[in-house]
Amino acid sequence: MGPQSGFHGGLRDRGFEGPLSANNSVLSHIARPYASALFDLAGEAGELADVEAGLDQVAQLAGTSDDFASFLRSPVISADDKSATIAAIIKKAGAIGLVANFLSLVARNRRLFALVTMIGEFKRLAAGARGEMRAEITSATPLSAAHKKGLAVALKKKLGNSIALDTRVDPTLIGGLQVKVGSQMIDTSLRTKLTAMKMAMKEVG
């Protein structure tokens, strides 16, 4: 059995080969079975590190290219066009095996809008297998390597575990950071403070 049939079979066994009815509010619900299937198959093949590295390349592209991020989310672009574009990206990136099959299947199943969440879920599973906790970091501008290192050290002191960071940029964030570790949100953004103040003033009024 080749990697492609193994991956597709892994999803069929979990009942997720066909379309799923969902929207952005349930991205995690959509993403988890795909990430879990890929994680299981990568573990069985002894390719966890390689698959994670391949997914990191895709996540980096989505995080640095507005065009690619919009392409993933667009409901206007047809499934055939998305599949063709993903095939071109796979070829250009030199992706092979499970990563290539995963991307192709997600495109074919019209679930590219949840791809970034799927990658995050996979990385969470991989971090757990390494005994790490994953922190999701959102900042208004890209963090430097020194900032990331300092943040990882600070979180380790606070939480007592080794921390692996997933970072993304949200230009609408007004100062500070949004840090999520598991279900715990450590939010220091000014936007959140302003929103809380507005809600409090409405209640007073």
> Do 103 and 194 fall into the same domain?
no
Instruction: Report the C-alpha gap between 135 and 154 in whole angstroms.
Output: 12
CATH no. for residue 153?
3.40.30
For residues 103 and 25, state if they share a domain.
yes
Q: Is 115 within 8 Å of 35 (Cβ atoms)?
A: no
8 Å CB contact between 81 and 108? no
From 128, 161, 181, the end of a domain falls on: 128
Digit-coded pLDDT (tens) for 32-83: 899 999 999 999 999 999 999 888 888 877 777 778 778 887 887 888 888 8
Q: Domain ends where: 93, 109, 128?
A: 128
123 and 156 within one domain: no
| Structure tokens belonging to residue 176 | 């500070």
CA distance 103 to 111: 10
Same domain, 64 and 13: yes
pLDDT category of residue 94 using cuts at 50, 70 and 90: low
Q: Are residues 93 and 111 in the same domain?
A: yes
Report the CATH number at residue 49: 1.10.520.20
Q: Tell me what pLDDT residue 180 has.
A: 83
Instruction: Check whether residue 83 and residue 12 sit in a common domain.
Output: yes
Tokens describing residue 188: 């220091």
Query: Which H helix or E strand runs over 168?
Result: strand 163-169
Residues 94-107 have a mean pLDDT of 84
**8-state DSSP, 177:** E
Q: Are 102 and 200 contained in the same domain?
A: no
Give the domain range for residue 163.
133-204
Residues 106 and 163 in one domain: no
Query: At 2, is the pLDDT very low, low, confident or very high (cuts 50, 70, 90)?
Result: very low
SS3 at position 60: helix
The two tokens of residue 134 are 């994953």
Which tokens hold the place of 174? 């007004």
Please write the tens of the pLDDT for every residue from 9-38. Answer: 554 444 344 433 334 457 888 888 999 999
Indicate whether 46 and 118 sit together in one domain: yes
DSSP state of 19: -
Q: Is the pLDDT of residue 150 over 90?
A: no
Chosen domain end from 107, 128, 149 = 128
Domains: count for the chain: 2
Whole-prediction pTM = 0.61
The verdict on 10 and 62 lying in the same domain is: yes
**Same domain, residue pair 149 and 112:** no
User: Do residues 158 and 200 both lie within one domain?
Assistant: yes
Instruction: Output 111 or 203, whichever has higher pLDDT.
Output: 111
Q: How many whole angstroms separate alpha carbon 18 and alpha carbon 175?
A: 42
